[in-house]
A and B are shown apart, each in its own frame.
Chain A
Amino acid sequence: MDLSSFAGPFLPEIVLLAGTLLIFLLDVLGVRRIETTGAVAVGATALALLFVVADLGLGPLSALATIPSGQIDTLVAPGATPLYAFTSLGFIFQGIFLLAAFFVALASMSRPSSERGAPIFYGLLLLATLGMLLVAIASDLIFLLLAIEITSISTYLLVGYTRRDVRSLEAAMKFYIIGALSTSLSFFGASLLFGAYGTTNLYAIRAVAGAVGYPVLVLLGYGFLIAGLAFKATLVPFHAWAVDVYDGAPTDVTAFLTGGSKKVGLFAFFLVFLGPVLFVAPGAGGSPFAGGTIDLGPVLQITLSILAVVTMTVGNILALLQKEMKRMLAYSSISQAGYMLIGIAIGTSPALAGATLQMFAHVFMKTGAFLVVAGVAALGIGPLIDDWKGLGLRRPLVGVAFGLMLLSLAGVPLTIGFVSKFVLFSAAVQAQGYFVWLAVAGLLNSALSVFYYARVLKVMFFDQPTPSSLPAGAVVGGSDPPLLRAGGFGTARAVAIALAAVAIVAFGIYPQPVLSAIQTAAQHFINVGA
């Protein structure tokens, strides 16, 4: 195998790796300015994103494709046990991960140049993204878990990279301990499955699963694997760490964690449960317990359904009680994981498409929202929601952008958040049977979530500012401080936020290109597994 034919398919990964090495090299050479390292990271993620989009065969970009389209979504021959496989759904997820990394890298360039640690931040950001890209092409449990580990270790360090902030350090420590625990749970589950199936390859597992049946070993193995992955995906009751970590981490890192790394866990769910199709949808109107015997598929299906409903409900109710902006967004992020899990529990290709679109939307809404929060915090405005009083009127552009993100999270029409929920819940109704109740539960939850999003809108646009909500230098009742360009956020952050806001509306109005790509990919993904 010559180098070019090997390097071709992995060009996005290689670009990221090269970016990481370049940043660390520049660090050694003494070039540590945030503008320089940031530009490298932005360039690397943008270039990798370009290649991934090209591989998906979208429009004129397909000329840049590094993988012949014949090698994507191919059925694996019986007996073959590839470590990785190229699926178009995997590419879509690579795109989602890269988008999150791109937004965070771009926005972070607006942090003060005097700030230390820029090379570490950007280097680790690219390394974590590299791990995610590998997750998206994994087709072996060990490969998958190792790829997740690359991401995890990078993000542990990212959370604590500032080194001075006690809260960040505490968060990093917590993240590390819980992460290590969840990794060992996952590996333990995988080893039990290896004991039962004699292989860790997902395709090979599919081939032998029927013959092995459902001994305790298999149930235990999947149980541990679900628990381990549920930590990563912040599903209730494995969520307790998430809010403290999201809250304690530097906000730009939080934006990356919620936009990117938690979806790694969810995509792993896709791979493990939909890839090998242990998990067969019972069909229209079918009872999960039809036939008198409990099959493993329905048991998992019900487990995942319950996890989904519990996750979104608990996340929403706790979000309702929060007084701090970051914690509110963190809990809302947990509830969003519940919506995404609906798609996995239903397991049809429409549902899979809905869940994927929801994750795509989440990058713009939630990553964007955290980037705004980081910018607002940098203006000297406090962490409480009440500190944001009157912000929407004082800085209309920031108010409109953040308002759009909240409306999108709440699922108000003409935003991408609405389209994704619409597709997801339509898929649940379309699957009929008891899945309609998943749609009802999801919709009631999204109604509940309106409470806390609308409250922020109220605070931002209707309430008069109080002293603690004023940026430094302003007086109550006095004239506003001169409106800084880009709302005082710095150009790079303003551009990132504006891009996210524009995407929210643009895809909200015309989702067809993204949606048809995702639907095709989801169909192929289910077929590849079948």
Chain B
Amino acid sequence: MIPLLSVIVATLAAGTVFTFLAGNRARWVALATTVAFLAEVAFLFLAFPGWPGYNAALVPGFADSESYSWISIAWMHVNYTVGVDGISLVLILLTAVLQLATVVYSWAETKRPAAYFGLVLLTCLGCFGVFIALDVLLFFLFWEAVLVPMFFLIGYWGGPQRRYAALKFFIYTHVASIVMLVGLLALVFYSGAASFDFSAIYASARGLSSVVQSFLFLALFFGFGVKFPIVPFHTWLPDAHVEAPTGGSVLLAGLLLKLGGYGLIRWAVELLPNGLHTVQPILYIVAFVSIIWGSVLSLSQRDLKRMIAYSSINHMGIVLLAIALDSSLGLLAAVLLMFAHGIVSALLFMTAGSAHHTFGTRDIPALGGITPTTPTLSTLIMVGSLASLGLPALISFPAEFTALLATWNTLAYWVIVPLVVLVVTAGFYLWMMQRMLFGPPKGIPSSAHDVPWYEGAGMGILVALTILFGILPGLLVNVIMSSPIKGFPGT
């Protein structure tokens, strides 16, 4: 057996370095790295029937685990400890797929392509690391490692307000990381954990009193919540998403927001069950406010990209609600939702980017009847929107259905809130399509052309997955449910 996770980290790291150095051939190196990454992720999944796989005894509950001493002094033991369970495995799949789609979609990037593709790979490396890290310092390190490449992606390749957006993004998320770090450190030292490892904290944190647990939970919730993002700390998101280049928006919406959800599940919900129980009402309120406010803001946007960005707040609010339910069905729903939103929002941001390339504007009222001119793009916008509003047989439907079911199980009639908001969401997507895709042609420049092959291919990958997992959600559910530590029934 080989230490597959470290091999993947090494692949991505080496690929990133070579991409930076590759000059005009950077996209080929990036593509090769991505293909290798996908193949290795496939190996991870192939080991799945023999779960929990390589070195299972090392970190209980996690497969493919590795642990090496990193910093070891009298009062501080930090290890390089990695491992995956079903939840991280699904998000790793998302990382690999989005990396492929982004690299293909950005094939014709001409502005310093080596740096661009290198930063894309570095971002994905950071996200992958966050999903496998089982040590506080390692986790924080990968968490912050995502920040720097994204700062440069927004700040150099972004739109007109890119510098402001990059700075705002960096500062918001960095302050949140700091609060999260204090929370994690306090978790280690107050619980008297033997090391910074997840399993050591897992063994000791349950002994903390409810009061301490809830304070720690709130600190972690703030840290992870800004990445979600939760209202009222969401204002970095529209700026960052809108100003970022399309590839950057895809990674932001598809992956970076998931880091918040994953972090909350792994480092707060699993470690501090009493804390979650105590502060549950606060999470409900924040989740409901985020759901409603995100949807209202989304409804009032003219800019296609900004509309999609605000709808992310709404969708991630549902993820938070599902996590706050503190039930295994809720957790399942949260992970499914994150995967679905990762794919669908990435698709939508790509269509918005293509629309901008073709029409020179993303202003919804300024455009109309674009379907005859750009049939492929219109189809893709339609698929993305329908998936986002939860049409059955597309990926969001099983996720949202599970979330509503879990909400009903725990909160009963409160399920009306997300339900009504889902209807509103459907409304704004349909309204957008009606104005932009159909009706008499308006605002279409003569140079308008349908999507080039590489953009089409990038989006095609996502469409295929949207349909595949929409029809066969069981593939994902089985993997997620195999995480023993969550107390899923039947494992």
Contacts and interface: CB of A to CB of B under 8 A. Distances in A.
Contacts of A451: 171
Interface in B134-189: 137, 140-141, 144-145, 147-148, 151-152, 155-156, 162-163, 166-167, 170-171, 174-175, 178-179, 181-182, 185-186, 188-189
Given A413-B141, A414-B141, A450-B171, A511 B185 contact: no
Contacts of B417: none
Contacts of A462: 155-156, 162-163, 166
B420 interface: no
Contact of A512 (B71, B74, B147, B152): B71
B446 interface: no
A81 interface: no
A412 B150 CA distance: 14
Interface stretch (A18-26, A187-195, A219-227, A441-449): A441-449
Contacts of A450: 170-171, 174
B417 to A, nearest CB: 34
B189 A426 contact: yes
B185 A353 contact: no
Contacts of B488: none
Q: How large is the interface on A (under 10, 10 to 19, 20 to 34, 35 or more residues)?
A: 35 or more
A511 B175 CA distance: 25
B190 interface: yes
Contact of A425 (B74, B179, B185): B185
Chain B CB within 10 Å, residue with most, of A349, A426, A440, A444: A426
A458 B76 contact: no
Contacts of B178: 443-444, 446-447
Classify the interface of chain B: helix, strand, loop or mixed.
Answer: helix
Contacts of B188: 426, 429
A71 B237 CA distance: 60
A414 B162 CA distance: 26
B175 A414 contact: no
A515 interface: yes
A425 B137 CA distance: 13
A461 B156 contact: yes
A432 B189 contact: yes
B75 interface: yes
Contacts of B185: 425-426, 429, 439
B1 interface: no
Interface string A510-530: 111001100100010000000
A21 to B, nearest CB: 41
Interface in B44-86: 70-76
Interface residues of B, number: 35
B166 A429 contact: no
B166 to A, nearest CB: 7
Contacts of B74: 349-350, 519, 523
A412 B72 contact: no
Contacts of A436: 182, 186
Contacts of B166: 458, 462
A274 interface: no
Contact of A412 (B75, B144, B171): B144
A436 B179 CA distance: 12
Nearest to A523: B74
Interface in B246-275: none
B148 A412 contact: yes
A467 to B, nearest CB: 21
A405 B140 CA distance: 20
A454 B72 contact: no
B182 A350 contact: no
A516 B72 contact: yes
Nearest to A516: B73
Given A444-B178, A454-B167, A458-B163, A512 B148 contact: no
A413 B156 contact: no
Contacts of A523: 74
Given A426-B189, A458-B155, A443 B181 contact: yes
29 contacts: A353-B73, A412-B147, A413-B140, A413-B144, A429-B185, A429-B188, A430-B75, A430-B189, A432-B190, A436-B186, A443-B179, A443-B182, A444-B178, A450-B174, A454-B167, A454-B170, A454-B171, A458-B163, A458-B166, A458-B167, A461-B156, A462-B155, A462-B156, A512-B72, A515-B71, A515-B73, A516-B72, A519-B73, A519-B74
Which 4 A-B residue pairings sit nearest by Cβ, starting from the closest? A519-B73, A413-B141, A429-B185, A413-B144
Interface of B: 70-76, 137, 140-141, 144-145, 147-148, 151-152, 155-156, 162-163, 166-167, 170-171, 174-175, 178-179, 181-182, 185-186, 188-190
Interface of A: 349-350, 353, 407, 412-414, 418, 422-423, 425-427, 429-430, 432, 436, 439-440, 443-444, 446-447, 450-451, 454-455, 458, 461-462, 510-512, 515-516, 519, 523
Given A350-B76, A429-B186, A447-B175, 6 more contacts: A454-B171, A458-B163, A458-B166, A458-B167, A510-B70, A515-B73
